Amino acid sequence: MSERSITWTQASVANVPLRRFVGHVGPVEVGAVEFDGSNRLWTWSSPLAEDAWGHAQSEAGAKQGFEVWLRGWLENFRPFLER
C-alpha cells in the first residue's frame, strides 16, 4: 500500500478547516487523524477496529503510524484474499 492509496480529506465546520483529517481508500472510510489539544499530540484511529488508535508528535507521523497499523491489520485477511 502506498501513501497515495489513502486519500486524506480535511474536515471543516462552516467552511472553517479543522485539525482533523479523514482517510478513505476508495469509498471506504479507513481512519482519522486529529490534533488532541489537551495532550498536544496527533491521534490516529480507525472505524475498522475498536482498539485501533495511537499518538504521534506530528500530523505526518500520525498518518504514517496509522498506515503501519492498517498494513498489519490487513495481513490478517491475506489467507482469505489469496484463495
**What's the grid cell of residue 37?**
489539544
Task: Provide mean pLDDT across the span 50-79.
Answer: 95
pLDDT-derived band at 2, boundaries 50, 70, 90: very low
Position 82 scores a pLDDT of 85
Q: What is the pTM of this model?
A: 0.86
Q: What is the DSSP letter of 5?
A: G
Return the number of other C-beta atoms located less than 10 Å from residue 83's C-beta.
5
Q: Are 42 and 34 in contact (CB under 8 A)?
A: yes
